[in-house]
Structure 1
Amino acid sequence: MPIVRPLNTDQDFQEAVDRKYKIRIFKDNHLVDSGTIVIRFTSDTIVTQSGVSSLGYHKREECEFFEVRK
């Protein structure tokens, strides 16, 4: 059964970057991205990558981020 943990703090996001955890991103209660990894983050934006040239920029205050581990 997978472990789903919310990512809220800078420490949570840094751990996701370091360990390359796959995450799910929700906006307005809709899944907008799944199976992507965090490559960078600031206080405003989370940058994700799901493929070689597939980058996503998500506003931190508009989205919810969850780590998914098996």
Structure 2
Amino acid sequence: MTRLTGTVKALDLEKGIAYVSPSDVFVDLSEAKGEGAPAWREGEKVSFEVVSGPKGTPIATNITAARRVTPRGVAI
């Protein structure tokens, strides 16, 4: 499965949901993995995979903080 990168938006920690742009993919924060999850903020970059939900709508899964790579190839 291909990993995509997007930006957290429309975050609702009380309901445990968010949307990731582009394409406003739905996020169930219980699917959040890794350091800082699910305490992300709106505007934060994340990496994720998209699966088809129960009604055929796209849902983000395996969500992690996006890694940046420096010009020297070092992931941070």
Q: TM-score, normalised by structure 2?
A: 0.37
- TM-score, normalization: structure 1? 0.40
Greater relative contact order, per chain length (Cα 8 Å cut-off, separation 6+): 1
| Structure index of larger Rg | 2
